[in-house]
Amino acid sequence: MTIQVENLTKRIGNQTILSNLSLQVKKGEVVGLLGPNGAGKSTLMKCLTGLWRFDSGKVEVCGIDMKLQPTRVRSHIGYLPENNPLYEDMYVPEYLHFMASLKGIKDKQSVVEHTIEQVWLNEVRHKKIGELSKGYRQRVGLGQALMGNPELLILDEPTTGLDPNQLDDMRNLLRTLGQQHTILLSTHIMQEVEAVCTRVVILHKGTFHADISNPQEINIEQLFREVTLK
């Protein structure tokens, strides 16, 4: 099991953001975490990556307990946050080389070159990140998440703000990556689920309301409306 979450609860002040969540994600699954704004998607991902502590429950990634060995857990995860923080004055290879250093990767140059090929950045390798379109910036962020070949990719709204052509490129890339990695992907876009995911869970008001295998076979949009209008 790549992700094992049991009775996870997260509070901020007096507000309960996540309430007694349990989730299992098997190796090789591409799971869409679907929910409206404020459902708790980003909070759950931050708890899974160890960025935020949780109040109660248990999180295991690749069989490793988050509370007992958080650093070891992070070595198995590639994370693309929603805001995708980048250093705009750096050139693309320069930034990736810097991130490889932070991750303790030994053969940095080889890994950087592989990453540029893997996420289709050759066309912009001689540009500064500040000169890139939103789509290419997302690819750079995804590239740093892939460095070190993590077993699990956690991607928070990876296609937000992309134009139709960029959306197609990113979805094709995610489908390819899904053949090699377990992926947990947050979104509120129904077409995203149908295009990329093998399974979808719906999060609303901090709790899970549905868990669907083969989401292409049902009307996800209708189910989503039914859940979120309750």
Overall number of domains in the chain: 2
Task: Please tell me the predicted confidence (pLDDT) of residue 5.
Answer: 98
Rounded-to-integer distance, Cα 112 and Cα 132, Å: 18
Q: Using the predicted structure, report yes or no on whether residue 135 has a pLDDT greater than 80.
A: yes
Residues 223 and 169 reside in one and the same domain: yes
Residues 69 and 167 reside in one and the same domain: yes
- Predicted structure pTM score: 0.95
Percent of the chain with pLDDT over 90: 82
Residues 154 and 227 reside in one and the same domain: yes
CA separation (Å) from 215 to 109, 154, 191, 198, 211?
40, 19, 11, 7, 9
Q: What is the mean pLDDT of residues 79-108?
A: 95
- Backbone dihedral angles phi then psi of residue 141, each to the nearest 5 degrees: -65, -40
Residues 24 and 62 reside in one and the same domain: yes
Query: What is the SS3 assignment for 28?
Result: coil
Range in 57-71, 128-142, 185-199 the model is least confident about: 185-199
Q: Using the predicted structure, report yes or no on whether residue 10 has a pLDDT greater than 80.
A: yes
Of the pLDDT bands very low, low, confident and very high (cuts 50, 70, 90), residue 161 is confident
Residues 103 and 66 reside in one and the same domain: no
Residues 145 and 179 reside in one and the same domain: no
| Residue 110 structural domain | 84-149
Domain C-terminal end among 125, 149, 173: 149
Q: What is the mean pLDDT of residues 145-162?
A: 94
Q: Average pLDDT over the chain, rounded to whole? A: 94
Domain C-terminal end among 129, 149, 169: 149
Residues 136 and 160 reside in one and the same domain: no
Task: Please tell me the predicted confidence (pLDDT) of residue 230.
Answer: 72
Q: Which two tokens stand for residue 107?
A: 């053969």
Residues 186 and 95 reside in one and the same domain: no
Query: For position 31, which CATH number holds?
Result: 3.40.50.300
